[in-house]
Amino acid sequence: MNKTQTQIRKLISYWLRHKPEDENIILDEFGWANIKDILAALKANNIQSTQNDLIELSNSFNKIRWKIDELNHKIKATHGHSICILQELESQTPPEVLYHGTATKFLESIMANGLKSKQRQYVHLSEAIDMAKDVGSRHGKPFIIEINTKKLIEEGWKFYKTEQNVWLTSEIPTEYLDFE
């Protein structure tokens, strides 16, 4: 069966974020992989591809998910990792309010335990309510939690802005979350 572009994207993101060892892909400490290893892994899955195809694929989705270093033939996931990688972005000051999109079924647990990163290295936040709503919809009926970033910065939280509006930070206790 021919894989769709979305399936190929998910496969590559899966290797870059979670399981590079599935296809003998080696990530450096910042999460960079050699594109030739990705192309070999695709080939092992009966998908013929080139570096330019990956660039096109990366640009064809509604959201940036990969960073591609064309010169050095490397690729990395910008967010979503469960593997622990070193952060090469400088921390930045975010807008005063960021949003986390979740599903209503998780609310009780989030109110009790705070915002956990679960399987991922970081908690993922958005600047735009619409994007947070999309993120939450992946899990069920969406619910938007507001986060007052000023208080968190004062308390020592670091915020990293990846491509396109995805902010990464550490787990957030419930007293900093606004469920209104």
- Which residues of this protein are in contact with ligand HQG, per CB under 6 A? 63, 65, 79-80, 102-103, 106, 109-110, 113-116, 118-120, 124, 135, 138-139, 166
Q: Which is nearer to ligand HQG, 3 or 139 (CB)?
A: 139
Least separation, in Å, of the C-beta of 106 and ligand HQG? 4
Least separation, in Å, of the C-beta of 168 and ligand HQG? 9
**What is the C-alpha separation between 80 and 94, in angstroms, rounded?**
19
Q: Which helix (H) or strand (E) holds 54?
A: helix 51-60
Q: Which is nearer to ligand HQG, 45 or 119 (CB)?
A: 119
Confirm if 69 and 33 have CB atoms less than 8 A apart.
no
Q: Which is nearer to ligand HQG, 138 or 141 (CB)?
A: 138
Who's near 50: CB < 8 A, 6+ residues apart? Answer: 39
Q: Which is nearer to ligand HQG, 42 or 131 (CB)?
A: 131
Q: Which is nearer to ligand HQG, 32 or 167 (CB)?
A: 167
**What is the C-alpha separation between 100 and 64, in angstroms, rounded?**
18
Least separation, in Å, of the C-beta of 164 and ligand HQG? 10
Least separation, in Å, of the C-beta of 153 and ligand HQG? 20
**What is the C-alpha separation between 172 and 116, in angstroms, rounded?**
7
Q: Which is nearer to ligand HQG, 47 or 114 (CB)?
A: 114
Q: Which long-range contacts (CB under 8 A, 24 or more apart) does 38-45 make?
A: 38/12, 38/75, 41/15, 42/8, 42/11, 42/12, 45/3, 45/11
Least separation, in Å, of the C-beta of 17 and ligand HQG? 8
Question: Is 47 exposed, middle or buried, given 0-12, 13-18 or 19+ CB atoms closer than 10 A?
Answer: middle
DSSP 156: T
Least separation, in Å, of the C-beta of 126 and ligand HQG? 8
